[in-house]
A and B are shown apart, each in its own frame.
Chain A
Amino acid sequence: MQWRNHSNSYGIISIGLHWLLAIALLAMFFVGTWMVDLSYYSEWYHRAPELHKAAGVVILLLMVVRLIWRWSNPRPAPLGKVKWQNRSAELLHQLFYLLVILIAVSGYLISTAEGKGIDVFGLFTLPALNWQFELQADRAGIVHKYLAWAFMLLVGLHLGAALKHHFINRDNTLKRMLKPLKGDIHADS
């Protein structure tokens, strides 16, 4: 099993975190936009926001794990030949990380705006900060919403770029995010 990344191949942990977070974040976006318009008598009226909040905390923790893993593993070299595209891809990845963290933090600020913590699947309660700012829930809510839409815009770019590498450049960019490449293993650097 290739757990760690190598100089041109992603390990199982990186691949797993990528897809786990990809699915979770897309689900969060669709649940989030759907739940804010639920009617008062919907059976999801309370349940969906509770799940959304708890999942958000777990996602933030996973994101931290992912960043630590990224920093403690070799970074597979980009397969693209065009410099500005490689640089854009790198910038896009960093923006992804930044947005996910900011979206999670803004969501946290909505729920904790009046000093109450967030219950995470009954396992523990993430406490509120002991300071609040004016109209915190409303203001954090606006940030949360627009950053989520910005995130989806980046998803579109990221997806488009991955498909371009696969179908036009016909390189391994997409394939190596599906499973670790074989016969290509270099020593950990």
Chain B
Amino acid sequence: MQTLNPSKLLAVFTLSTGLLLSTQAAQAANYQIDSQGMHAAVQFKIKHLGYSWLNGRFDNFKGNFEYDANKPNASSVEVEIDTTSLNSNHAERDKHLRSADFLNASKYPKAKFVSTSISESGDGIAVKGKLTLNGVTKPLTIEAEKIGEGKDPWGGYRAGFTGTTSFKLADYGITYDLGPASTEVFMTLDIEGVRQ
């Protein structure tokens, strides 16, 4: 029987540590939001005069997230939205919403949300981060919940979430007067990520 000499011991130790680290790295997987297959949506709604909801969405966006079910608090997410892709199913309104009265989309064609901290509790997932819109960056919290994760039928692995948030338009320098009932916009984000 061979005795274990110190240099071999060190090698074994290094190898096992390395394996352990790489296993952990694989667990905190990186997911790319499926905006190609479009299993995702960025939608907004705002009250019209206080009588009904006006719904719209952003057709183009992309992003990714890090997620590990065992360590949800180590997650992160980043979404970039093409503000010129606003669509509320009405040509003149969309033109107006893209104009300098609202999103100023020709000057600020991108809106961005980048998470700063994520904490999961029994109630759901609180995604704190920074939203940049109309050239203004402000902290914002998205209340999210996991819908599910698992293998897809095409050899990939997916995880999906839904989240909602709201903010005052004026906080992002959008001050066009839509009336007292229409100062706050509500957003819903549905994202499905494909593990990379």
Are the CB atoms of B94 and A114 closer together than 8 Å?
A: yes
Do residues A113 and B177 form an inter-chain contact, with CB atoms below 8 A?
A: no
What residues of B have a CB within 8 angstroms of the CB of A114 in the complex? 87, 89-91, 94
Is B84 part of the binding interface, using a Cβ–Cβ cutoff of 8 Å?
A: yes
Residue of B nearest to A134 (CB): B84
Contact across chains for A39 and B177 when beta carbons are under 8 A apart: yes
Q: Is B107 an interface residue (CB 8 A)?
A: no
Chain A proximity of B54: nearest CB distance (Å): 12
* Number of residue pairs A-B, CB distance < 8 angstroms: 37
Name which residue of chain B comes closest to A114, CB basis.
B91
**A40's contact among B87, B99, B176, by CB below 8 Å, is which?**
B176
Which residues of the other chain, B, contact A136 by a CB distance below 8 angstroms?
Answer: 91
Cβ of A141 within 8 Å of any chain B Cβ, yes or no, is: yes
User: In chain B, residues 71-105, which have Cβ atoms closer than 8 Å to a Cβ of chain A?
Assistant: 84, 87, 89-92, 94-95, 98-99
Flag if A111 contacts B177 (CB, 8 Å). Answer: no
Question: Considering the complex, which residues of chain A in the window 39-93 have a beta carbon less than 8 Å from any beta carbon of chain B?
Answer: 39-41, 49
- A110 pairs with B92, CB closer than 8 A: yes
Q: A40-B177, A40-B178, A138-B98 are in contact. Are A111 and B84 (CB under 8 A)?
A: no
**B175 at the binding interface (Cβ < 8 Å):** no
How many interface residues does A have (CB within 8 Å)? 15
Instruction: Determine the chain A residues whose CB is within 8 A of the CB of B106 once the complex forms.
Output: 138
Report yes or no: B90 in contact with A135, Cβ–Cβ below 8 A: no
Contact check, A111 vs B92: say whether CB atoms are below 8 A apart.
yes
Number of interface residues of B (CB under 8 A): 15
Most buried by B among A41, A49, A112, A114: A114
CB-nearest residue of chain A to B95: A137
B84–A137 contact, CB under 8 A?
no
B8: shortest Cβ distance to chain A, in Å? 64
Q: How far is the CB of B107 from chain A (nearest CB, A)?
A: 13
Complex Cα gap A41–B179 (Å): 8
| Contact call B95/A113, Cβ cutoff below 8 A | yes
Q: Which among B87, B91, B95, B99 is the interface contact of A116 at CB below 8 angstroms?
A: B91
Q: Which residues of B contact A (CB under 8 A)?
A: 84, 87, 89-92, 94-95, 98-99, 106, 176-179
Known: A41-B179, A116-B91, A138-B95. 11 other contacts (CB 8 A): A39-B177, A40-B178, A49-B92, A112-B91, A113-B94, A114-B90, A114-B91, A114-B94, A135-B84, A138-B84, A141-B95
- List 27 A-B residue pairs with CB atoms under 8 Å apart, sorted by A's residue number: A40-B177, A40-B178, A40-B179, A41-B177, A41-B179, A49-B92, A110-B92, A110-B95, A111-B91, A111-B92, A112-B91, A113-B91, A113-B95, A114-B87, A114-B94, A116-B90, A116-B91, A135-B98, A136-B91, A137-B91, A137-B92, A137-B94, A137-B95, A138-B84, A138-B95, A138-B99, A138-B106
Closest 5 CB pairs of A and B: A137-B95, A113-B91, A114-B91, A137-B91, A40-B178
